Amino acid sequence: MTPILSIQQLTAGIEEREILKGIDLVVNPGEVHAIMGPNGSGKSTLASVLAGREDYTVTGGSVTFMGKDLLEMAPEERAREGMFLAFQYPIEIPGVSTANFIKTAVGELRKHRGHDPLEPAAFLALMREKMKLVEMDSSFLNRSLNEGFSGGEKKRNEIFQMAMLEPTLAVLDETDSGLDIDALRIVAHGVNALRSPTNATVVITHYQRLLDYIVPDVVHVLWNGRIVRSGDKSLALELEKRGYDWIKNEAAVEA
């Protein structure tokens, strides 16, 4: 089985400062991986580097996505190849409706795959269906993307877009933060509904609570730019109980 994502000894940073200090991670089809870790440990940086953000310079290592060299690709190519990042802080685009934005994105994806654009009526129906999945009112489609959306609505909108784009690999960066209990359940339900044996999900989170809903196959702890521990679901429970200090100490001893 070829992995969906294979990261080897990845190092990256900004200017003089190294933030990722040698990441190894393999994600296979059908799997859910959770990445946890203290603030500032490099979780969002890892997500950004995978998505191709130019602020970060990759200084070493390799990333293979669906058998292709991911680091060679422009950010939009990565997206069209099936990489999706749900942003920790989704931005607002004034003047561009959510519908028009996602229509453009889906259009690019279909073009990349050699498919014709969807008929407007079919597309509208699809949007409505996916909006329902995250329990958003379809009136959001006519509003400017994320403009004036509440924090929770922005996060749901990320999952809506994910549902429309059906990525092979979805990286969710703290999609659960700022969600109330109901919204958390809704978002988790959306993510679970999109799971299949051919795609995979990486969830970055601080709370084991989310993992009650989206059950991970593997839990990783990222600290100081490295994955210092991996385990099954019980690792998350243990972290919840004991915090990060014991892991930091162990890692420090090993280093």
Ligand X SMILES: Nc1ncnc2c1ncn2[C@@H]1O[C@H](COP(=O)(O)OP(=O)(O)OP(=O)(O)O)[C@@H](O)[C@H]1O
Touching other proteins, residues 138-167 (CB under 8 A): 144, 161, 165
Judge whether 177 and 12 are in contact, CB under 8 Å: no
Judge whether 242 and 36 are in contact, CB under 8 Å: no
215 binds, among Mg ion, other proteins, ligand X, none (CB under 5 to 8 A by kind): none
The yes or no reply on residue 19 touching ligand X (CB under 6 A) is yes
Cβ proximity to ligand X, 35 vs 187, nearer residue: 35
The yes or no reply on residue 43 touching ligand X (CB under 6 A) is yes
The yes or no reply on residue 48 touching Mg ion (CB under 5 A) is no
74 binds, among Mg ion, other proteins, ligand X, none (CB under 5 to 8 A by kind): other proteins
160 binds, among ligand X, Mg ion, other proteins, none (CB under 5 to 8 A by kind): none
Q: What are phi and psi of 250, to 5 degrees?
A: -60, -45
39 binds, among ligand X, other proteins, Mg ion, none (CB under 5 to 8 A by kind): ligand X
Cβ proximity to other proteins, 77 vs 217, nearer residue: 77
Find tokens 């489609």 and name the residue. Answer: 141
The yes or no reply on residue 105 touching other proteins (CB under 8 A) is yes
Q: How many CB atoms lie within 10 A of CB 110?
A: 14
CA-based max dimension of the chain:
61
Pick the binder of other proteins from 13, 42, 52, 190 (CB under 8 A): 52
112 binds, among Mg ion, other proteins, ligand X, none (CB under 5 to 8 A by kind): other proteins
Calpha distance 194→82 (Å, rounded): 14
Token digits of residue 129:
């269906």
Judge whether 56 and 12 are in contact, CB under 8 Å: yes
Q: Which residues 6+ apart lie within 8 Å of 233 measured at CB?
A: 211, 215, 216, 219
Secondary structure of residue 148 in the 3-state scheme? coil
Tell me the CA distances in angstroms from 211 to 154, 182, 184, 216, one per residue in order.
21, 15, 11, 7
The yes or no reply on residue 74 touching other proteins (CB under 8 A) is yes
104 binds, among Mg ion, other proteins, ligand X, none (CB under 5 to 8 A by kind): other proteins
Secondary structure of residue 251 in the 3-state scheme? helix
Q: Which stretch binds other proteins (CB under 8 A): 89-97, 123-131, 196-204, 207-215?
A: 89-97
Instruction: Give me the residues that bind other proteins (CB under 8 A), please.
Output: 51-55, 74-76, 78-80, 84-85, 87, 90-91, 93-97, 100-102, 104-105, 108-109, 112, 144, 161, 165
